Amino acid sequence: MTVLVRDLAPGDHDAWRGLFHAYGLFYETDLSDEVLDHVWSALLGGAIRGYVAERDGAVVGFAHARTHTATFAVGEDWYLEGLFVDPSVRAEGVGTAIIEHLVKIARWEGGGTLRWVTAESNATAQRVYDKLATRTTWVTYEVELGD
């Protein structure tokens, strides 16, 4: 089956919301309506770029990405905030199609590097990513700034 990856559109709301909620649950986070609404607003407002993958007219995956000025190259660097594929179509090339689409756009826009992280335990995704990108030795740190 052919996978079409395209910009997220307002009509994708319900399908995106279901997938994004499932994404949160995959990472053991039950996203509140407030968070879902906040992210949707950021996607429609352009703060984050949103993409969806369709197969047979149904939205079966999404990606969220942002850009920022590169500091080790001329242009924009890309950061993949999140990528999720409906479990019913995993291992059918949807995740690969999404990443290849982002690479194509980033290259067309003159970007420097596309980066992302995944959970150390997400071996399924890593098998896909290892075919598409270079695994780095960088270690990620974070500080929660909320309540």
Query: What is the predicted pLDDT for the residue at 123?
Result: 87
Q: What residue numbers bound the domain in which 95 lies? A: 3-132
What is the distance between the alpha carbons of residues 134 and 111, in angstroms, rounded to a whole number? Answer: 17
Residue 42 vs residues 49, 137, 139: alpha-carbon distances, Å: 8, 31, 27
- In the predicted structure, residue 103 carries a pLDDT above the cut 80: yes
CATH number at residue 94: 3.40.630.30
Q: Does residue 32 sit within a domain?
A: yes
Q: Does residue 140 sit within a domain?
A: no
The model's pLDDT over 51-71, given as tens digits with 9 standing for 90+, comes to: 999 999 999 999 999 999 888
Q: What are phi and psi of 56, to 5 degrees?
A: 55, 40
Q: Does residue 111 sit within a domain?
A: yes
Q: How confident is the model at residue 136 (pLDDT cuts 50, 70, 90)?
A: very high
Q: Does residue 138 sit within a domain?
A: no
Query: What is the predicted pLDDT for the residue at 71?
Result: 86
Q: Does residue 121 sit within a domain?
A: yes
Average pLDDT, the chain: 92
Q: Does residue 85 sit within a domain?
A: yes
pTM for the structure as a whole: 0.90
11 Cβ neighbours under 8 A, 6+ residues apart:
none
The model's pLDDT over 7-58, given as tens digits with 9 standing for 90+, comes to: 999 999 999 999 999 999 999 999 999 999 999 999 999 889 999 999 999 9
Q: How many domains does the chain have?
A: 1
Query: What is the predicted pLDDT for the residue at 109?
Result: 87
- In the predicted structure, residue 1 carries a pLDDT above the cut 70: no
